[in-house]
């Protein structure tokens, strides 16, 4: 392997922060008043969503909001595209968009 | 509960909830986010730190159990300007990609080398069994440990 140019061993500039514990991963970020989101996915591989009852979740202490596909539609938020070519709203599969996008069906 | 302990040479006295894990104390209370939580169930080793010099998984220890101990985290073994030989070897050998498992790997590897006067590839692979890496594969990690070992005073065969 030559010392320079094509085939040379190049050190990565990001490695120093990773090997010294100075990386900044999502879980490392902490701001005052920070809140957290949890995505709920369908327990069924394929199903029609007749209704979402979020009353019990909203009753839990500290829960600020439960957002569903209806809220997304109400705010004019479009479909999340997690995979190129996958433009259908869906939940359940590991490569599908997050649950709040589900409007009508899980697949 | 009150917990008094030394972390990276600095003394702390903290009042934490009884169910606080050592890793939570380090990350949330002391802001030492170099120690990672990968699985929360002792399997991945990303949270490995040294307790009185021996490697432990900080997600499996209550903060209260660390009362009176000396903890060393990835932040305490070297700096960008003065890397620990193991940190330097990980960099030199391209032993990381996303870097998430790296702090735990390095802390485990240091303990392994310190307690192994003789190391070979099989011993390193066995010794790092409790640390999981999901990107590089283990080849370069093993190479890094075997590169750092002689610099730390261990023989490599």
ipTM of the modeled complex: 0.93
A27 vs B contacts (CB less than 8 Å): 33, 36-37
Q: Quick check: B109 and B96 in contact, CB under 8 A?
A: no
Calpha distance B80→B84 (Å, rounded): 9
In 3D, which of B113, B101, B83, B124 has the Cα closest to residue B47? B101
Which pairs count as long-range contacts for B49-53, CB under 8 Å and 24+ apart, including other chains? B49/B22, B49/B23, B49/B73, B49/B74, B49/B107, B50/B107, B50/B110, B50/B111, B53/B111, B53/B114
Q: Chain centroid to CA B56: how far?
A: 8
Comparing CB atoms, the residue among B36, B96, B103 nearest residue A15 is: B96
Model confidence pLDDT, tens digit, residues B89-127: 999 999 999 999 999 999 999 999 999 989 999 999 999
A72-99 mean pLDDT: 56
- Best of A20, A28, A30, A36 to substitute, by most chain B Cβ atoms within 10 angstroms, is A20
What pLDDT is recorded for position A107? 60
pTM (2 d.p.) = 0.82
3-state secondary structure labels for all residues of A5-24: CCCCCCCCCCHHHHHCCCCC
Calpha distance B22→B39 (Å, rounded): 15
Q: Which residues are bridge partners to B1 per DSSP?
A: none
Measured in angstroms, the CA of A35 and the nearest CA of chain B are apart by: 15
Q: Chain centroid to CA A62: how far?
A: 21
pLDDT at B130 over 90: yes
């Amino acid at each position: 392997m030559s010392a320079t140019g094509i085939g040379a061993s190049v050190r990565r500039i990001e490695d120093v922060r990773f090997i010294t514990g100075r990386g900044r991963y999502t879980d490392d970020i902490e701001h005052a008043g920070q809140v957290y989101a949890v995505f709920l996915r369908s327990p069924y591989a394929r199903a029609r969503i007749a209704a979402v009852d979020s009353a019990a979740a909203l009753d839990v202490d500290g829960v600020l909001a439960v957002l569903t596909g209806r809220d997304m539609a109400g705010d004019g938020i479009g479909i999340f595209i997690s995979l190129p070519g996958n433009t259908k709203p869906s939940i359940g599969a590991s490569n599908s968009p997050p649950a709040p996008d589900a409007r009508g069906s899980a697949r | 509960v009150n917990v008094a302990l030394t972390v990276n040479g600095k003394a702390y006295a903290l009042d934490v909830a009884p169910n606080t894990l050592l890793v939570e104390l380090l990350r949330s209370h002391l802001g030492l986010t170099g120690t990672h939580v990968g699985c929360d169930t002792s399997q991945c080793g990303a949270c490995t730190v040294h307790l009185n010099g021996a490697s432990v998984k900080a997600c499996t220890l209550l903060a209260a159990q660390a009362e009176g101990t000396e903890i060393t985290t990835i932040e305490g073994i070297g700096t960008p300007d003065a890397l620990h030989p193991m940190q330097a070897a990980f960099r030199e050998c391209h032993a990381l990609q996303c870097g998430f498992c790296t702090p735990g790997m390095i802390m485990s590897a240091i303990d392994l080398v310190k307690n192994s006067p003789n190391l070979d590839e099989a011993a390193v692979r066995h010794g790092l069994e409790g640390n999981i890496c999901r990107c590089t594969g283990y080849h370069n990690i093993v190479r890094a440990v075997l590169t750092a070992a002689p610099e730390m005073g261990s023989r490599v065969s």
